[in-house]
A and B are shown apart, each in its own frame.
Chain A
Amino acid sequence: MNDSTLILTLVAAIGLGTGLVFATVGEIITERAGNLNLGVQGMMLVGAVAGFWATFNTESLLLGVIVAMIAGAAFSVIHAFASVSLRVSQIVSGLALTIFGTGLSSFLGEAGEDPLVGNPSKATFEPILEGGLADIPVIGPLIFGHDLMVYVSWLTVAAASYYLFHTRMGLSLRAVGEDPASAESAGVNVARVRYAHIMAGGALAGAGGAYFSLALVPTWQNEPIGASGWIAIALVILASWRPWRALFAAYLFGAATRIGFTMQTLGEPWSNIPSSLLAMLPFVLAIIAMLVLASGKRARFLGAPAALGLPYFREQR
């Protein structure tokens, strides 16, 4: 039973979705503070190359992930500075971050005497908690036998949810995303809150990127994350800015990414569907989700922060 196509697809979806979980939760935190960062793709790529590089040189996965998170956070400061301090359009600033990050990541992977490109990682995340527990029908393989990062992602989701809705900082963060002027006059430092959570988003995007280069495709290649950074931005809406929903939304997209492979295992006639058509599925799914769930006032209803995307001018007069 645990070998059925459905279970195998779901298990694979968890793996394929984990990078998305980190990035989506990160973007949720950033957007809840009222900042739309379209630089997720760039931050993930910078995290992916930095994490790969660190593990390549130290053979430590822990260091790889930490370096990826630091790199993602540091890189996101560019967007924070432009959109919070200089108050330029968040959209253009985020796009700039993605374009720069994409170039930088490929450049760092290819540059130098002995480039990273084509090299396998010196260490990769391996499944843990295998054996007996994983043999429990249905829930066994879904819960056990993943690599460590999957469990870390679950903890991240739980922590983010607690942080957003049950802590002092979470309250300030949500207030800043809804109405920065009011938050400021209640004594909240809007700029500091936005910087901190843009950087938190950057760190999580970095971790998500590293998951691709250290676990999913542990050989360095250009742009190892596909379009995950862009998908993460769509997932934020699908998850209606709530971390737990992001977990399931990410797995849904993990499954959609896996669909080509699944079709192959099903044999004729399914295996005849061209892979390029199946590759559209996650994107079509995202558009349909947008149309159904997030059109017009419904987006606000879902929980879109009211001040999302708007620069905040303190001394506006």
Chain B
Amino acid sequence: MADHADTLAVEFRNIDKAFYGVKANDNVNFDLRRGEVHALLGENGAGKSTLCSILAGLYRPDAGEFIFEGTPATFKTPKDALAAGVGMVYQHFRLVSNLTVAENLALGHPKLSVHISQEQLEEEARQLGEEYGLPVDPKARIWQLSVGEQQRVEILKLLYRDAKVLILDEPTAVLTPQESQQLFKTMRQLAAEGRSVIFVSHKLYEVKQVSDRVTVLRDGKTVGGAETKDAEPRDLARMMVGRELDLPTRDPNPDIGEPMLIAEDLRVAGDRGLEAVKGVSFEVRRGEVLGICGVSGNGQRELAYGLTGLRIPSSGKVILDDEDITKKTVEQRIDRGIAYVPQSRLGMGLAPGLTTEENLALKAYRKPPFSNGPMLAPGVFKENGTKLIEQYDIRGVRPGLPIRLLSGGNLQKALLAREVELNPKALIARSPTRGLDVGATEAVRNLVLDERAKGTAVLLISEDLDELLALSDRVLVLYEGEVVGRMPAEEATPERLGLLMAGHRDEGAA
């Protein structure tokens, strides 16, 4: 061990961490050398983020040893970790959106003098950006930047503090394949300077491309590690999943019917009043899954709002089963058979403080037998709840328990159960498996495919290309609110979609 002291930056031994009795890290071992890019590979829920958050001082482990640069250490807060030279770029960026880039870099920096000069901060930010090939306007406020630029600010923030260990948690999830390549270059540059980079991912091909070593986590445990060049992708995949990768995908012989959900030159305003969906047209047929891909923030949310009635389109048409529903309210659209699975379950879609029973009746409550005139029928709520909880295998429910205390997978099953029970004509789903573990992903994918088999028109809006390609019959690419490409799933490759998502028009296909 002693001879490792000069080469090892970080060593974790037997780390345990539980949240409310559920073990997120269970006896995890992990070490990081100086000057390497070390991939942390695992499915959603495998404990990668937890391990990284412990290293970054955000969480404290329940048990285990942590050795930093050869000596046992404790990071009680992110501040401790940063002071020691460990910084993390979180999946959800931690930037203060109303402050400038320069202010975000300076924030919390221990060497900052009491008096601060904007000009000086901005100059420092600009120089640092040039040095690492991460250009960004230091005067800009964070909310004015694109997602890719924000990620650059996050990395600069760590370099501004001269971090020796940089943790990047699923950094490519928000990038186009081309932007990812640029990021990989930066990562290699950092490693060449003697810094260590932890690259968290569940994408094998990325791990294979950029990392020196790889550690695989599954169900909170370390299940293997290797030099990347010696690792067979198939072996890594098996380690990661624990069985042969067998997530449900669509069967290629669809029984596709008449157009059910049609958008005609649809235009929908964004939050700041500017047009976010700029003349989108498509049709989804009965028994078909139409996938919509694009980098987050290119009009996906507004498109879903325009179709579900959460925002009335400024022009164009929405047609459901030959009826123009463009001006209809949300309630009227629900009545006519539009089901919607939003992106963040607890933010929209479920009432977190109400019970599972109540949430399962959230769309049917208006009608008999759930209510008679102005009165509710509590017995029917209960009956319906019991039935769906059983049928869709929703676990962890107790009488009176607020639904927010269920796990992500069970929340999603409850939400889908309710939507599917409406027997919708069209199902609109946004990233339905995001953040779910393998088991729940499988259940959710099956539910979506069952709907397709029943003849429902499914619109799948997702940033996860794997999910999209596994489920969609056709794919359509959204860039800055416009359709820049459409193709059958068979013709869609990640590379081709990536170019389109980055705004390169695919001549001939659009």
- A–B in direct contact per CB < 8 Å: yes
Do residues A185 and B58 form an inter-chain contact, with CB atoms below 8 A? yes
Chain B: interface residue total (CB-CB under 8 A): 31
Q: Does A58 contact B (CB under 8 A)?
A: no
Question: Residues 182-194 of chain A: 1 if any B CB is under 8 Å from the residue's CB, otherwise 0?
Answer: 1111111100000
Distance of A286 Cα from B58 Cα, bound (Å): 43
Q: Within the complex, which residue of A166, A175, A178, A185 is in contact with B78, where a contact is CB–CB below 8 Å?
A: A185
Known A-B contacts A166-B116, A169-B114; A182 and B77 likewise in contact (beta carbons under 8 Å): no
Do residues A171 and B78 form an inter-chain contact, with CB atoms below 8 A? no
Nearest CB of chain B from residue A290's CB, rounded to whole Å: 22
Q: Does A104 contact B (CB under 8 A)?
A: no
User: Residue of B at shortest CB range from A182?
Assistant: B94
Residue of B93, B95, B108 most packed against chain A (CB within 10 A) = B108
Nearest CB of chain A from residue B375's CB, rounded to whole Å: 32
Nearest CB of chain B from residue A310's CB, rounded to whole Å: 14
B contact residues around A185 at 8 Å (CB): 56, 58, 78, 88, 90, 94
A contact residues around B157 at 8 Å (CB): 186
User: Residue of B at shortest CB range from A184?
Assistant: B78
Q: Does B367 contact A (CB under 8 A)?
A: no
A contact residues around B88 at 8 Å (CB): 185
Q: Does A82 contact B (CB under 8 A)?
A: no
Nearest CB of chain A from residue B58's CB, rounded to whole Å: 7
Do residues A187 and B103 form an inter-chain contact, with CB atoms below 8 A? no
Do residues A167 and B107 form an inter-chain contact, with CB atoms below 8 A? no
Do residues B94 and A187 form an inter-chain contact, with CB atoms below 8 A? no
Known A-B contacts A175-B99, A315-B59; A186 and B113 likewise in contact (beta carbons under 8 Å): no
Distance of A172 Cα from B59 Cα, bound (Å): 21
Distance of A317 Cα from B106 Cα, bound (Å): 28
Do residues B94 and A181 form an inter-chain contact, with CB atoms below 8 A? yes
Known A-B contacts A172-B108, A187-B110; A178 and B98 likewise in contact (beta carbons under 8 Å): yes
Q: Does B83 contact A (CB under 8 A)?
A: yes
Known A-B contacts A172-B108, A174-B99; A186 and B116 likewise in contact (beta carbons under 8 Å): no
User: Residue of A at shortest CB range from B59?
Assistant: A315
Q: Which of chain B's residues 336-355 have a Cβ closer than 8 Å to chain A?
A: none
User: Residue of A at shortest CB range from B107?
Assistant: A186
B contact residues around A174 at 8 Å (CB): 96, 99
Interchain Cβ contacts under 8 Å between A and B, 15 examples: A168-B112, A168-B115, A171-B112, A174-B99, A178-B96, A179-B97, A182-B94, A183-B107, A184-B58, A184-B77, A185-B56, A186-B78, A186-B157, A306-B97, A306-B98
Instruction: Identify the A interface with B (CB < 8 A).
Output: 166-169, 171-172, 174-175, 178-179, 181-189, 306, 315, 317
Besides A175-B99, A185-B56, 14 new A-B residue pairs in contact (Cβ under 8 A), listed by A number: A167-B115, A168-B106, A171-B112, A172-B107, A172-B108, A174-B99, A182-B96, A183-B107, A184-B58, A185-B88, A186-B108, A187-B78, A187-B108, A189-B77
